[in-house]
Amino acid sequence: MVLKIDKTDAPMEARGILTQFGSNIIHEDLNFRLTRGEIVGLVGGSGTGKSVLMNTLLGLKEPEGGVIRYFGYNRHELTSEQRFELNTQIGVLFQGGALFSSLTVRENIMVPLREHTDLPVKLMRELADMKIHMVGLPPQAATLYPSDLSGGMKKRAGLARSLALDPEILFLDEPTAGLDPVGANAFDELILGLREAMDLTVLLITHDLDTLYTTCDKVAVLVDKHIAIVDTLPKVIAYDHPWVQEYFGGPRSRAALSAGKT
């Protein structure tokens, strides 16, 4: 069966998720849903399992319980061929870009094209160069290796690779970590522009308060082994939980909020 993507279905929905390592329970009865076209920021304290959750949603770790659906399909019930097809609808930017060091930027972007399509190599190169342009890298970056790139360029190259197959959903793990304020703001603006241009649904893990205030339509809070709230930022800020109040009530958060209002 070929997967038919019904855009009226939730792009992703997780229900009753249980994840654990041995006897250590990371998530329990976790429910989470993405709404089409939204950018959702996922926040939580260190050790709450934000990256574990992303890996679970991506299928890199199987949950010990619960159901994960993409576009209405239960991922666990899909055949290997259907999962392979589903993966073309999901783009991922890992921390640091996770580029293949032995490949040029263009060759890195061509990896998913080689894996999932039978396009002529010339067309793959043209598509890769188009994605390089889309993420704001100069044309000459195509022939550079990861070791030749700055931290910000690596992130943009990784983003270009995540967009190679024109996915419906984009997962970003700490996309602005390690960037200076100017670079981080430029990356935030890039994500907003790509969301509009490509009709993306975005889930991003971040500690960057500026990103939450300027980029995200909603914020999801991971505390006490589950998603406590997913809502607009004002409602999340008002949520009565000690970690939420400490996180959003601190001086850095107030500064980010003040900057966002100017």
pLDDT digits (tens, 9 = 90+) for 94-137: 887 789 999 999 999 999 999 999 999 999 999 999 999 999 99
State yes or no: pLDDT of 149 exceeds 90: yes
Q: Judging by beta carbons within 10 Å of its beta carbon (0-12, 13-18, 19+), is residue 20 exposed, middle or buried?
A: middle
Report if pTM > 0.85: yes
Token representation of residue 204: 């991003």
Query: Using alpha carbons only, what angle is made at residue 92 by residues 41 and 156, rounded to the nearest 5 degrees?
Result: 90
Q: Which of 39, 37, 36 is nearest to 189 (CA)?
A: 39
pLDDT digits (tens, 9 = 90+) for 205-245: 998 999 999 999 999 999 999 999 999 999 999 999 999 99
pLDDT digits (tens, 9 = 90+) for 212-223: 999 999 999 999
Q: Among 30-34, 120-124, 238-242, 254-258, whose mean pLDDT is lowest? A: 254-258
